[in-house]
Amino acid sequence: MFNHTRAPLWEALLHHASISQANFHVPGHKAGQVFDQEGSLRFSSLLPIDLTEVGDLDDLHAPTGVIREAQQLAADAFGADQTRFLVGGTTAGILATILAICKPEDKILVARHCHQSVFHGAFLAGATVVPIPYTIDPDSGLEMPTSPDAVEHLLEMHPDAKAVILTSPTYYGVVQQIEKLARIVHQRYIPLIVDEAHGAHFGFHPDLPDRAISHGADISIQSTHKLLPSLTMSSMLHIKKGLIDAESIDMYLSVVQSSSPSYPLMASLDLARRYMMMEGKGRLTEVIHRIQFFRRRIRELPQIKENTILGIMEPMKLSLTSTFFSGYEFAEALEAKKIYVELADDQKVLIVFSLGTEQSELDYLYHCLAQLHEENQVNRPQKNVSMLTPREGEILPYAECRTMERCFIPVSQAIGKRSAVHLLPYPPGIPLVLMGETIHQEEIDHLLGLIAKGRNVRGLKKRKDEYWVQVYN
Ligand SMILES: Cc1ncc(COP(=O)(O)O)c(C=O)c1O
């Protein structure tokens, strides 16, 4: 039986900090003995546990002690056979997984709306990406879930595919039919990998969806830091035995992660697991109840609409559209009231709740929404509300891309050429044009339009008066 009241890594750090008499090892701040004076006001309580592989503190890359124990407790808590702590975010787990599964030129089916890290992983592995297309629900503006039929059809066309990778839930909270998808994927004896970056809280409460791993996923990678109480960049990779070579995953995790992993990050994972097992359900009951009440109150504001697809949304995300603002204007109006939302696009804003969401914050948000509703009774014609989704086109095999020369040219000369970088608005980090896809005028116009509105776009760089992009020769 696992004792979830314990946090072995955290306890070992505290113990080490209490017994150490002389510190002749890295990091250079020597447990906080030397540090910027102003900075130390904030950092001083953390620095004594910002340690390295000394004493009984184990080694993330070959764990035999407290890190191994902490990972075993996490596996039990998150319903996995094995769990790995990640200090490079879910990004590191995704890169290592794809590198472990794909040799150069292997095919991999990837939901086209996956995060850039999935395509980066495929690029590093030299894999050939077969995109699984997606559609946008016209009513809500949200991505529809991945169609099991589409996956089945693509697997028939590409029987040599080595894995299928999906995102569930999506950034906006749409949950995939993992059980059905896993059944289809497993008929081919290949693994289903789920990027569950936004679903670390799943399975901890009956009102939340189940975890992908409980429904047949072979690997799920969760950004613990996104919805649960752990430090930014701390994530977990969960494995179900059977189709996965855990040794290979470990090897590639050592390749993509630092050889000096942060102990505060790892300890925060240990503590997040303990918190969820000891207090998570109670806290979630409270917060979910609060959020349900808040959702009902918003329905009193007829010009503000929640974007949702019936029956497949998870409750911790709330996407709102108004009749009087574009999504960007909406976010700016809230920001003027010192309310910061996760992201905005042309149509909507995305609000992310967590176990830390307080009633007072929800009251303030409601008050501000009601005020904006009151002040903006006139419907304004919406400009540019159409969502530009990635077109369905062939992606150059990444093994080929790896051998090609790149050049940096003005965007006006890049139309019709293959992009050598992902072009994407960030957040959410879903490439509009993938590395290896053809650049079209429409996408460039859209991205330049976003830049003109002050949005963050990756892949385009300003040189003198023009934007430039890297393309393949
Ligand atoms: C769907 C999805 N997958 C993966 C990632 C990468 O996660 P991390 O920031 O933990 O590396 C993100 C980050 O936003 C994401 O939204």
Alpha-carbon distance of 456 to 472, in angstroms, equals 24
Task: Please check whether residue 130 lies inside any domain of the structure.
Answer: yes
**Which pLDDT does position 293 carry in this prediction?**
98
Closest CA to 251 of 62, 83, 73, 90: 62
For residue 410, the CA-to-ligand 1 centroid distance in Å is 30
Residue 443 CA, ligand 1 centroid: distance in Å: 23
Say whether both 150 and 164 belong to one domain: yes
264 and 299 part of one domain: no
Q: Residue 430: its pLDDT value, please?
A: 86
Q: Which domain holds residue 162?
A: 8-277
* Interatomic CA distance for residues 304 and 321, integer angstroms: 6
Question: Would you call 160 exposed, middle or buried from its count of C-beta atoms within 10 A (0-12, 13-18, 19+)?
Answer: exposed
Residues enclosing ligand 1, CB less than 6 A? 89-91, 115, 117, 167, 171, 195, 197-198, 223, 235, 428-429
C-alpha 202 – ligand 1 centre gap (Å): 16
Residues 231 and 246 reside in one and the same domain: yes
Asked if 287 contacts 279 with a C-beta cutoff of 8 angstroms, the reply is no
Q: Are residues 242 and 371 in the same domain?
A: no
**Do 16 and 115 belong to one domain?**
yes
CATH of the domain at 54: 3.40.640.10
Q: Is residue 393 in a domain?
A: no
Pairing type for strands 128-132 and 164-167 reads unpaired
The whole-number pLDDT of residue 387 equals 61
Instruction: Among 359, 375, 391, give the residue marking a domain's end.
Output: 375
The domain tally of the chain equals: 3
Within a domain: 385:
no
Q: How far is the CA of 196 from the centre of ligand 1 (A)?
A: 9
Q: What ligand 1 atom has the least distance to the C-alpha of 226?
A: 10
Count of beta carbons in the 10 Å neighbourhood of residue 14: 14
Q: Is 443 part of a structural domain of the chain?
A: yes
Q: What is residue 77's predicted lDDT score, i.e. its pLDDT?
A: 98
Same domain flag for 349 and 446: no
Q: Which atom of ligand 1 is nearest to the CA of 233?
A: 10
Exposed/middle/buried for residue 295 (C-beta within 10 Å: 0-12, 13-18, 19+):
middle
Q: DSSP code of 378?
A: S
Compute, in angstroms, the gap from residue 163 CA to the centroid of ligand 1: 19
Single-letter code of the amino acid located at 435: M
The alpha carbon of 95 and the centre of ligand 1 are apart by a number of angstroms equal to: 12
CA of 91 to the centre of ligand 1 (A): 6
Contacts of 180 (CB under 8 A, 6+ apart): 148
Report if residue 106 sits inside a domain.
yes
In testing the pocket of ligand 1, which one of 223, 224, 422 has its CB within 8 Å of the most ligand atoms?
Answer: 223
Ligand 1 center to 371 CA (angstroms)? 33
Ligand 1 pocket mutation, candidates 84, 90, 134, 458, criterion most atoms within 8 A of CB: 90
pLDDT, block means (10 residues), the chain with 473 residues: 97 98 97 97 97 98 98 98 98 98 98 95 97 91 95 98 98 97 98 98 98 98 98 98 97 98 98 98 98 97 95 96 93 97 93 98 98 83 58 88 96 95 88 94 93 90 94 94
Report the residue among 87, 97, 115 best suited for mutation to probe ligand 1: largest number of ligand atoms under 8 A from its CB.
115
Question: Could you tell me if residue 215 is left (phi over 0), alpha (psi between -120 and 50 degrees) or otherwise beta?
Answer: alpha
Whether residues 98 and 67 share a domain: the answer is yes
Closest atom of ligand 1 to 195 CA is 3
Same domain, 224 and 302: no
What per-residue confidence (pLDDT) applies to 385? 42
Domain boundary among the residues 360, 375, 390 is at: 375
**Which pTM value belongs to this model?**
0.96
